[in-house]
């Protein structure tokens, strides 16, 4: 299913990466990796799942509208079940608790986590008029504990994979699973979620939330009683603003402009990946480091010298690399953008991500500073329209594709997270968190870049076919080469 991290120093094509390599020091830092690369120790596994109490009165359930993201995701899952598609998708997080873990205290911290975040207590039902969330009251929370028993490291990893694949499903409640592998000098807490309740930043919210609660409870301190801002409140507000927009309305002007320039709502990646429209393929998941901390710092300084942020410079470098492998002179792509600008959502758990298009020139006549300037201009234009949900643009401007449960063809996609800016990132060398995206099948080549204290890394999930592996390997080489060249000039 995946390539091991120990193989990351070797290119799929057999060439050596100039700046992509495996470094044991990286494993003390937050990282986004395939599950197969998770460094587990032997231990005793305990699990918890949310269940409804026997005395739960359905009348006491709260009801709220789902977000546009959630509704589209749910309907895609319904389509997959109708088509008998055997596909596994989830996002997971692990982190460590040093020393001997207290299971009673950990369970209380997990209970507190579910209590604080309303979206974790909801189930979904599609009715006339849209997707509805039925929300369990905090007072009704029951965590069901299962003692799985002692496992070797390999058996523990296998158990997590099986458990996540079999129990995390958009159409099956509950939508997450929690647990711990109790080891000798430390224990590894694990959580897995369906995407319908979770995004990448929410995983870091979870580790910070649970670690702080565990430490406070272990010290006998009182926990704050206020809940976190609710993603379901965000969803209702979003629906109130955008449910009634029209394809020719002013809200979608930015999207219509993008379509006029790029030729369609979905920006195809200008590489021949050899995948057929409408077909899903087994996925390959791989993470490599592109720049170590010293070179990443130098590259960040180079970006700042030319008036750009790190992610802007990285996107400019990716654009240059794409030109080198494809001959494209204009970059058309999607960016996932966080929707947490309102302080109410800073500590919230949910799917606070909008997908936005961006366009900038990447012709050979342009220098890195010139391309970076175009990225900055393009991003500033994009951000003025970031509140308009991608799913509504999809429904109104590309209705011929809206029934599909995935994108219609391989799409150009760039994502970036700076983990150094996450809550309590200074504790990551002790907590050692990992984020683990899983897609058993795909029809594209998605790339997630991230910065941590050890450098800049790339996690990619691609269609596992020879042609796609080769094309994405060449692209990855070009990105690494471009970054190396730019860093040498910094």
| Residue 25 is assigned to a structural domain of this protein | no
Sign of the C-alpha dihedral, residues 350, 356, 360, 364? positive
| Residue 17 is assigned to a structural domain of this protein | no
- The predicted pLDDT at position 61 comes to 65
Q: Which domain holds residue 435?
A: 247-489
- The predicted pLDDT at position 22 comes to 34
- The answer on 265 and 146 residing in a single domain is no
- The predicted pLDDT at position 10 comes to 27
Backbone angle region of 45, left / alpha / beta, with phi > 0 → left and psi within -120 to 50 → alpha: beta
| Residue 8 is assigned to a structural domain of this protein | no
Domain count, the chain: 2
Q: Provide the 10 A C-beta neighbour count for residue 216.
A: 16
| Residue 466 is assigned to a structural domain of this protein | yes
| Residue 22 is assigned to a structural domain of this protein | no
| Residue 474 is assigned to a structural domain of this protein | yes
Q: What is the pLDDT of residues 340-388, one digit of tens each?
A: 999 999 999 999 999 999 999 999 999 999 999 999 999 999 999 999 9
- The answer on 413 and 313 residing in a single domain is yes
- The answer on 56 and 173 residing in a single domain is yes
Q: What is the pLDDT of residues 27-72, one digit of tens each?
A: 457 899 999 999 999 999 999 999 987 765 555 567 888 999 999 9
| Residue 403 is assigned to a structural domain of this protein | yes
- The answer on 251 and 198 residing in a single domain is no
End residue of a domain, out of 174, 207, 235: 235
- The answer on 261 and 168 residing in a single domain is no
- The predicted pLDDT at position 224 comes to 78
Classified as helix, coil or strand, 7 is helix
Q: What is the pLDDT of residues 262-288, one digit of tens each?
A: 999 999 999 999 999 889 999 999 999
Determine how β-strand 434-439 pairs with β-strand 31-32: parallel
Query: Is-contact 189 94, C-beta < 8 A?
Result: yes
> Across the strands, what pairs with 179?
47, 190
Report the CATH number at residue 229: 3.30.559.10
pTM of the predicted structure, to 2 decimals:
0.91
- The answer on 265 and 218 residing in a single domain is no
Mean pLDDT, 10 residues at a time, over the chain (490 residues)? Answer: 30 28 48 94 97 66 88 94 89 96 97 96 84 90 96 97 96 96 95 97 96 96 85 95 96 97 97 92 96 97 97 98 98 96 93 97 98 98 95 97 93 96 92 96 95 96 96 97 93
- The predicted pLDDT at position 278 comes to 82
- The predicted pLDDT at position 318 comes to 98
| Residue 11 is assigned to a structural domain of this protein | no
């Amino acid at each position: 299913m995946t390539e091991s991290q120990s193989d990351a120093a070797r290119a799929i094509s057999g060439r050596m990466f100039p700046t992509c390599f495996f470094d044991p020091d990286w494993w003390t830092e937050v990282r986004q990796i395939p599950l197969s690369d998770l460094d587990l120790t032997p231990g005793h596994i305990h699990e918890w799942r949310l269940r409804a109490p026997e005395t739960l009165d359905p009348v006491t359930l709260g009801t709220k509208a789902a977000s546009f993201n959630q509704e589209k995701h749910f309907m895609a899952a319904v389509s997959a079940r109708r088509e008998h598609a055997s596909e596994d998708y989830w996002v997971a997080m692990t982190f460590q608790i040093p020393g001997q873990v207290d299971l009673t205290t950990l369970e209380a911290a997990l209970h507190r986590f579910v209590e604080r975040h309303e979206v974790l207590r909801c189930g979904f039902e599609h009715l006339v008029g849209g997707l509805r969330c039925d929300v369990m009251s905090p007072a009704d929370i029951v965590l069901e504990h299962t003692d799985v028993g002692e496992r070797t490291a390999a058996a523990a990893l296998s158990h997590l994979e099986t458990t996540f694949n079999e129990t995390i499903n958009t159409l099956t409640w509950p939508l997450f699973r929690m647990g711990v592998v109790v080891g000798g000098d430390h224990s590894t807490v694990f959580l897995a979620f369906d995407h319908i309740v979770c995004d990448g930043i929410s995983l870091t919210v979870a580790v910070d939330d649970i670690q702080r609660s565990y430490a406070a409870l272990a010290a006998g301190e009182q926990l704050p009683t206020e809940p976190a801002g609710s993603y379901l409140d965000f969803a209702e507000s979003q629906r109130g603003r955008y449910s009634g927009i029209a394809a020719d309305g002013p809200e979608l002007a930015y999207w219509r402009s993008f379509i006029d320039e790029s030729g369609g709502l979905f920006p195809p990646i200008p590489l021949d990946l050899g995948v057929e429209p409408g077909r899903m393929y087994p996925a390959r998941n791989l993470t490599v480091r592109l720049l170590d901390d010293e070179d990443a710092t130098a590259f960040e300084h180079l970006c700042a010298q030319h008036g750009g942020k790190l992610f802007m410079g990285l996107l400019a470098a990716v654009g240059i690399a794409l030109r080198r492998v494809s001959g494209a002179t204009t970059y058309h792509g999607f960016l996932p953008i966080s929707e947490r600008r309102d302080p109410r959502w800073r500590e919230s758990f949910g799917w606070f991500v909008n997908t936005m298009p961006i366009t900038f020139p990447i012709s050979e006549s342009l220098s890195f500073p010139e391309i970076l300037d175009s990225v900055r201009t393009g991003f500033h234009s994009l951000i003025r329209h970031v509140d308009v949900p991608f799913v509504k643009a999809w429904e109104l401007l590309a209705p011929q594709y809206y029934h599909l449960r995935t994108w219609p063809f391989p799409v150009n996609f760039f994502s970036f997270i700076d983990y150094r800016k996450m809550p309590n990132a200074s504790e990551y060398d002790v907590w050692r968190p990992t984020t683990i995206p899983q897609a058993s099948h795909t029809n594209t080549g998605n790339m997630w870049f991230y910065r941590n204290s050890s450098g800049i890394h790339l996690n990619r999930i691609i269609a596992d076919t020879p042609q796609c592996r080769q094309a994405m390997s060449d692209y990855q080489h070009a990105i690494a080469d471009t970054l190396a060249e730019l860093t040498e000039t910094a």
